[in-house]
A and B are shown apart, each in its own frame.
Chain A
Amino acid sequence: MTTKARTLYEKIWDAHVVDQRDDGTCLIYIDRHLIHEVTSPQAFEGLRIAGRKVRRPDLTLAVPDHNLPTTPRVDAAGKRVPIADLESAAQLAALEHDAPSFGIKYIDATAREQGIVHVVGPEQGFSLPGATIVCGDSHTACHGGIGALAFGIGTSEVEHVLATQTLLLKQSKTMEVRVEGKLGHGVSPKDVILAIIGKIGASGGTGYVIEYTGSVFRDMSIEGRLTVSNMSIEGGARAGLVAPDDKTFAYLKGRPMAPKGDQWDQAVAYWRSLATDPGATYDKVVVLDAADIAPSLTWGTSPEDVVPITGVVPDPMSFADPSKQVAAQKSLDYMGLTPGQRMQDIEVQHVFVGSCTNSRIEDLRAAAAVAKGRKIAPHIKQALIVPGSGLVKAQAEAEGLDKIFLDAGFEWREPGCSMCLAMNPDKVPSGERCASTSNRNFVGRQGPGARTHLVSPAMAAAAAVTGHLADVRELMA
């Protein structure tokens, strides 16, 4: 008997079905649950009210990230610096109390292992290929970069997972996004995912799980795959996936929470079996040619508003869809841009390198390579480098990257979500413009009235040293 050829997604899904209702709704087992301070307090409150326990605290990991200031967390005397914002302090205190009281491992804000939850998971070997991973954060899609089925959930679902270690879900459709060829000089994984979102649109992936295939992703580092998969949600897909391969295994081997000894070999054999079978089909296929992808960035207030750096601000009337014409005009009004303006002529006052999308060691290296020996432009008000975790920070310092950034005039900060989302002191003031390596250019995302252009780490560094959005290729040797 031959079994039906299945995709990577279908194999992971099938392995996690606990129960299936007649209408197709499945009870799916969750292997890993990451929690942070913003989307968990109401879930713990729900458990307490109902008198329920956490079913599998050993499969749950808590780390604070969203609210934390990125300034030093301990003073010269080694004492914790109190958090000035009382609401932030209360939310952080809630996690610090809730997690241990339900038996969940909590990584403290002052620990070396602390960082952005989506950086910490893979870095600790907590996130594994073939596993189902959830977190009350839409960028959980990130962990798909190592071949995990990972997606964001709301707080009611956080409570459901805490109580039952499962979720009620319907199977998604599958979309293959295939990019073949070789990326050009100065073209990074961030440019690849921006180009993909520009092509499929912000809702193109709604209802789908994307699998990224083709030579571009096979050749890409794990850090790059995490960047790509991270932004699947900006194309509407709840999850993205890259098939685990030797690069994935090399990345995970020896990580603190990764399998050891015989179990490691057993795990690798299983993970290899997850690759999409020859002949398996996807519900939708999107193909891009690597040669067509330039260093890219956004001009508007939706991640689908993508142009190459050599491009111009589009005319809203150039869009066929009338509702997009209206949205584009609103975006341009908000962004303070006019149609036809060259992207490279747009001045920025702020630069942010960080976030769960682009704060790993490779991202910092790419930014440092551009910043090295240069100075940020005199009118730049703030240029932040925010490592994704304490371990990334330590690695960067061991490589001397902190010195390169500080010499160039950047600030070198403590790990956290920082300027990605305006929940902590790092914000862009109203009407000012930021070249940002984060994932969302929504209205008000980096602060009320803030104007965001999403770019790669190298492009962010290029904007910092030139003072305007710039083609990084012109700054590279």
Chain B
Amino acid sequence: MKAVSKVEGRAYPFGLKNVDTDVIIPAPYLKTISRIGLGRGAFESVRAQPGNVFDDPEYAGAPIIIAGDNFGCGSSREHAAWALNDMGVEAVIAPSFSDIFSGNAFKNGIVTVVLPQEAIDRLMEVAKTDPINVDLENKVVTTPYQDRFEFEIDDFRRHCLINGLDEVGMTLAKADRITAHEQKLAQSQPWLVPTAV
């Protein structure tokens, strides 16, 4: 995973609430067996509408999306995070995220920043004309107008993002503990090994 400690640039002032992962990347694009190239299907139904922010040249290549409550709800498809990666998005700012999406985003180096609706409203305004800065080291979002919105983020996730850590590798280093757990289970819950596999 590539390390990320700050994201700076223009932001799509999207703003919608309950943006589901079918909207971020519709099912026909999930037939790929690769992680790359999904940007072409990102927000397809939104882009079908004239005047949408994603096709507005003002925001071309913006690394940030500003959205409403419950961003990334619905399907667990990590393709949503891969699609955002592919379109160059490195951070999403919203009042809340679905649990599965925020995990998927994190594992792909995308920072999910939770801020209250009032802050979102202000950032939606600023985004129309100016860049926004997400500082993961200091857990703060700033604008050229001295706006300063501090945010909370899980320390472990922040640590992994800033250092670009590979979770599988970290966990494999604990193989002894996993083995010990399995040995304990074999004694206490022997039925957990399926009988007919």
Contact = CB atoms under 8 A, between A and B. Distances in A.
Interface of A: 18-19, 21, 23, 25, 27, 29, 31, 38-39, 41-42, 45-46, 50, 52, 55, 58-59, 61, 66-67, 85, 87-88, 90-91, 94, 105, 125-126, 128, 131, 136-138, 140, 151-157, 159-160, 163-166, 168, 170, 172, 202-203, 206-207, 233-234, 236, 238, 256-260, 263-264, 266-267, 270, 302, 304, 323-324, 326-327, 330, 421-423, 440, 442-445, 448
A256 B194 CA distance: 9
Given A27-B177, A156-B107, A164-B168, A206 B99 contact: yes
B100 A154 contact: yes
Contacts of A153: 76, 100, 103
Contacts of A87: 31-32
A202 B156 contact: no
Contacts of A270: 189
A93 to B, nearest CB: 9
**Which of A19, A256, A330: most chain B CB closer than 10 A?**
A19
B167 A160 contact: yes
B185 interface: yes
Contacts of A168: 156, 167, 171
Contacts of B172: 52, 163-164
Given A131-B192, A327-B17, A156 B181 contact: no
Contact of A421 (B27, B44, B103): B27
B27 A238 contact: no
A159 to B, nearest CB: 6
A323 B69 contact: yes
Given A27-B174, A304-B18, 5 more contacts: A18-B177, A38-B30, A39-B78, A138-B74, A440-B74
A170 B102 CA distance: 13
Contacts, number: 209
Contacts of A266: 190-191
B68 to A, nearest CB: 5
Contact of B181 (A29, A256, A304): A29
B69 A422 contact: no
Given A87-B31, A163-B172, A443 B167 contact: no
Contacts of A157: 103, 107
Nearest to A136: B76
Contacts of A19: 174, 177
Contacts of B73: 202-203, 236
A121 to B, nearest CB: 11
B162 to A, nearest CB: 14
